[in-house]
Chain A
């Protein structure tokens, strides 16, 4: 039997027969969904990145060379890789300061974007014996001992098929790759302190010495400090200045970095929320105007359906059905386009934002997809409801007369 048009199939038929109007409405709903879904996703990812960053920050204070505070902060958030270092035995001097409960030295070397290296990465040398920041995190994902010459790779590091990474012309075996943190640690490789001189030597061999000759065994980029109970990080910084006799040391307070990042993120998220709300209100206004204008054009059509025996409920379902279809199709398009733009480029977005950015899990994404679709459908339905009620009033003859 041939399939005949019915009230059930009429919404689709009406949309098909008005391609321009349908396309315009779809564009509006798609844009609304993109704003809602992409905005929410970015906010969630930034929040996840911040949480991850907070979890990785075990130090109360970082002592760094003069004028390198910004570079050190970039290491903690999501900035570029850098090389900076002291040339004196800063670690033992810091250890003597009052209020220092625990201290551990780290060395930061940036590899190059050149033939000698697979990619530009941050090489972080740490001392597993004294470390209290990286080691607990690495141990949670790698239960072996990091031997000399081996590396542990961050989540975004491209490890070659043979399980190694080429740095300064030398292939370093990768013993483990860590989970994503949303910070620049994802673009880092970790070596023990004994490996640092090897790295420096290899860099000199390829003609790009990372650190001047003679200093490879004693360079320290930063001393991470855990302050003793009852001490404030800034007081301890003053104590370090006194103990070392160096007045122009740089100090980074990871708690402060977290707080300032949190504040930046909070501002971004508020902007996103305001943007989504304004965009949504404008979108709903446009949809309301379109459905309202359409309702005036369609008075005769709906009076005609009443004459044929359609109930008021059926008319409401017909109009809301059309807008729901628009909402559903626009919602799927919006979610699809946003997902294509965000999900595969999570690392790039993080780098561009220069903020901790961590892609949330599949469950959250799935929930957000459902929410975004519900949002799109509800927006479409809501926008048409006024028109639906106006068109389905009891005295259809008056509607018909108005439509003439």
Chain B
């Protein structure tokens, strides 16, 4: 079964009193481990399609199924859970939370909705703690010396959430900005932090809306390699791009013109 199935999807809006189809009877299938890119001119419905897939917009007709679940059939809790656990979404515009540090922005999806015990990052966290528990207790510094203070507990350090977030920031070349606020970052840096946030919960479906829009060639290569790695890891990746250099990393390329999606 495909991870993402889009069937006859349409979304119409009203413009100057007339309806027009931003997404027009689109069909798309995306398997786990596949990387699909969509190209097309601005205003042709690419972002609308991605937002319909994530359930941030409701279709006028047609269906979107993710991991066997029809998005339109899910209630708010169900679709929110799907967005948190299954989907990672890099939006076209900057959506980092201004009041949080870069690190907290990246970690937030893992702590949302009490999902800690079940999120992939949390599973790694628990596994890490179990491993730590299995390790033998440290030897006392010197049991013969009564005035020697033995450590009561392991020193506090980064937990699995922090390790995961820092690893992603490291891979995207922005780890040194972990304690900064978004307003201190350039557009390209914010874009990379957004990508790290989208990957935090190890999503099965990664959706990226122009992920290299603000990036130079070197950063573009870093980001695209990371997205490719995610696909190789087994995630389905759906990307909208205007960047010809990014297309080389995709398994398939589609074009969108006036809301109609066609294979290239």
User: Chain A residues in contact with chain B, CB under 8 A?
Assistant: 1-2, 4-7, 10, 13-14, 16-18, 300-301, 303-314, 394-398, 400, 404
Contacts and interface: CB of A to CB of B under 8 A. Distances in A.
B197 A14 contact: no
A142 B81 CA distance: 73
B99 to A, nearest CB: 4
A309 B109 contact: yes
B89 A307 contact: yes
B15 interface: no
A215 B161 CA distance: 94
B111 A4 contact: yes
B111 A5 contact: yes
A6 B111 contact: yes
Nearest to A298: B98
B12 to A, nearest CB: 13
Nearest to A16: B99
A126 to B, nearest CB: 70
Contact of B113 (A300, A310, A396): A310
Shortest 3 CB-CB distances between A and B: which pairs? A309-B84, A304-B95, A17-B99
Nearest to A309: B84
B100 A13 contact: yes
B83 interface: yes
B113 A311 contact: yes
Contacts of B96: 304
A265 to B, nearest CB: 50
A301 B84 contact: no
Of residues A4, A6, A309, which shows the largest number of chain B Cβ atoms within 10 Å of its Cβ?
Answer: A309
A381 B37 CA distance: 45
B99 A13 contact: yes
A268 B96 CA distance: 53
A5 B54 contact: no
A13 B197 CA distance: 19
Contacts of A312: 76, 80
Given A309-B84, A394-B76, A5 B100 contact: yes
Interface in B96-147: 96-100, 104, 107-113, 115
B156 interface: yes
Given A309-B81, A312-B76, 15 more contacts: A5-B108, A6-B108, A7-B113, A14-B99, A16-B99, A304-B95, A304-B96, A307-B56, A307-B83, A310-B113, A394-B58, A395-B57, A397-B51, A397-B56, A404-B93
A301 B96 CA distance: 7
Given A2-B158, A4-B104, A17-B99, A311 B93 contact: no
A278 to B, nearest CB: 35
Contact of A309 (B58, B100, B112, B158): B112
Contacts of A309: 80-85, 109, 112-113, 115
Contact of A300 (B76, B89, B93): B93
B56 A306 contact: yes
Contacts of B51: 397
Given A307-B95, A308-B83, A400-B56, A1 B111 contact: no
Contacts of B81: 309
Nearest to A297: B98
Nearest to B160: A1
B95 A303 contact: yes
Nearest to B75: A311
B158 to A, nearest CB: 7
6 contacts: A13-B100, A300-B94, A304-B91, A307-B89, A309-B112, A396-B56
Contacts of B111: 4-7
Nearest to B112: A309
A6 B80 CA distance: 16
A404 B77 CA distance: 26
A314 B158 CA distance: 27
A352 to B, nearest CB: 47
A316 B56 CA distance: 17
A400 B107 CA distance: 21
A307 B112 contact: no
A5 to B, nearest CB: 4
A161 to B, nearest CB: 55
Of residues A300, A306, A307, which shows the largest number of chain B Cβ atoms within 10 Å of its Cβ?
Answer: A307
Contacts of B158: 2
Contacts of B58: 394-395
A77 B205 CA distance: 79
Contact of A2 (B54, B93, B110, B159): B159
Nearest to B99: A17
A269 B115 CA distance: 53
Nearest to B91: A307
Given A18-B99, A400-B56, A5 B93 contact: no
A341 B134 CA distance: 61
B162 interface: yes
Contacts of A307: 54, 56, 83, 89, 91, 95
A4 B109 CA distance: 11
B91 A400 contact: yes
A25 to B, nearest CB: 15
B47 to A, nearest CB: 8
A311 B82 CA distance: 11
Given A5-B107, A13-B100, A394-B58, A310 B112 contact: yes
Interface string B138-181: 00000000000000000010110110000000000000000000
Contacts of A17: 98-99
Contacts of A2: 156, 158-159, 162
